[in-house]
Amino acid sequence: MPDSSPSPSLPAPPIGLLTGAALFLDFDGTLAPIADTPEGVVVDKDLLALLRRLRDDLDGRLAIVSGRAITTLRDLGFGDFLLAGTHGLEFAEPGSAVEAPEKLPAVDEAAAAFSRFAHDKPGILVERKSISVGLHFRRAPQWGSAARELATDLADQLDLAVQPGKMLYELRPGGADKGSAVHTLMQRPPMAGGTPVFIGDDVTDEEGFAAARDLGGAGILVGPPRATLAAFSLEQVAAVRHYLERGVAAD
């Protein structure tokens, strides 16, 4: 993770960065704007068509790396893409079964505790995933500190990993992150042989930036300047799409 010192604005990524890339793309906040609820995000057909063209230009070297479960990513329309879900705990190739650890009983205990916490707090949302559970407070930010304390206490009690995100805390098995997902996929076809480029917006993407850098590539931060391990930046989701469109046009 980066240190806490502020970072200056980073340069925009050159289009040439996509040449020969093994491209890793976060979803929420990168390919689509963050919505008030996870269900509020819609993937449009033009985006999927753009990603398919880009994947074909890269000889298949494009993967979606998300905190979302793979079943959710497939429901959103990413079924024919290489996927890493739940922060690197799940993997799937198009049309193949999901590689994932079994759901831990502790995750169900955490989900029950999150539900009790959310019961009398309008705006708090519990998101149950295949092998993890998230507590969202975007619509009730006044409960952010209490949500953090609860998630941290439960992680200690239940031997789970706590994953902070944008206005949420997630509890899940440990042992993986988006950086480990990059390292894993870079050892497999079709990603092997490319130069890793990771595009993401959240603190959960920092491990992805670090892995890309360590493997000779680079990270691209989406959003305002902050402490980061990325080498380049794009200001918002629309700029990401424009950059990818330029990459296809330049091929």
Structure confidence by residue, pLDDT tens digits, 88-113:
999 999 999 999 998 899 999 999 99
Burial of 42 (0-12, 13-18, 19+ CB in 10 A): exposed
Contact 21, 194 (CB under 8 A): yes
Contact 70, 126 (CB under 8 A): no
Q: What is the pTM of this model?
A: 0.88
Q: Which two tokens stand for residue 148?
A: 């953090």
Q: What is the DSSP letter of 32?
A: B
Task: Give the CA radius of gyration of the chain.
Answer: 18
Residues 204-250 have pLDDT tens digits of 999 999 999 999 999 999 999 999 999 999 999 999 999 999 998 77
Q: Are strands 195-200 and 218-222 parallel, antiparallel or unpaired?
A: parallel
pLDDT at 166 (0 to 100)? 85
Task: Please list the ranges in the chain whose pLDDT falls under 50.
Answer: 3-6
Catalytic residue among 26, 57, 177, 201: 26
3-state helix, strand, coil in the chain (%, to 5): 40, 20, 40
pLDDT at 6 (0 to 100)? 44
Name every residue whose Cβ is closer than 8 Å to that of residue 216 and which is 6 or more positions away in sequence. 195, 196
In DSSP terms, which residues pair with 198 in a beta bridge? Answer: 24, 219
In DSSP terms, which residues pair with 200 in a beta bridge? Answer: 221
Contact 62, 32 (CB under 8 A): no
Calculate the alpha carbon distances from 177 to 205, 243, 246 in Å.
9, 26, 30
Name the residue among 21, 27, 51 with its Cα closest to residue 178.
27
Q: Which two tokens stand for residue 45?
A: 């057909």
Q: How far apart are CA 25 and CA 31, in angstroms?
A: 8
Amino acid at 192: A
Catalytic residue flag (residue 26): yes
Q: How far apart are CA 234 and CA 225, in angstroms?
A: 10
pLDDT at 41 (0 to 100)? 87
